[in-house]
């Protein structure tokens, strides 16, 4: 049985799941870009939602939807990040954690 995606009953206009993807979080519709990666990039660069939307050539509503999705699903998004990190470590693509 598949694990449910948080807020899967909420209708998103600009976010969608990727069937068959390793990632269970939602992606920006039409882009190979997870909501959390969009938000992390925007925050890391200190961009406003308007500037991030312009840079990615997507509607500002898509950025705002991603921000809200990540905010509401913070625990899920962090668990997904940890799952990805663990997989990369298992495959030897990241250095092992040092105590």
The pLDDT value given to residue 8: 52
More confident residue, 8 or 76: 76
Q: Average pLDDT in the 15-19 region?
A: 95
The mean predicted confidence, pLDDT, of the chain is 90
Domain 15-90 has CATH 2.40.230: no
For the entire predicted model, the pTM comes to 0.82
The C-alpha angle with vertex 24 and arms to 33 and 59, in degrees rounded to 5, equals 35
Q: Where along the chain do its domains lie? A: 15-90
| Inter-residue contact 61 to 13 (CB < 8 Å) | yes
What is the dihedral sign for C-alpha 69, 75, 78, 84? negative
| Per-residue model confidence as pLDDT tens digits over 45-81 | 999 999 999 999 999 999 999 999 999 999 999 999 9
- Reference 65, options 28, 37, 40, 30; nearest CA is 28
């Amino acid at each position: 049985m598949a694990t449910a995606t948080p807020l899967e009953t909420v209708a998103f206009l600009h976010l969608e799941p990727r069937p068959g993807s390793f990632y269970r979080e939602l992606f920006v519709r039409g882009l190979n870009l997870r909501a959390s990666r969009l938000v992390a990039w925007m925050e890391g660069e200190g961009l406003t939602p308007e500037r991030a939307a312009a840079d990615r050539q997507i509607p500002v509503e898509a950025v705002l939807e991603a921000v809200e999705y990540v905010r509401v699903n913070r625990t899920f998004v962090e668990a997904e990040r940890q799952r990805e990190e663990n997989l990369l470590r298992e495959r030897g693509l990241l250095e092992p954690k040092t105590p």
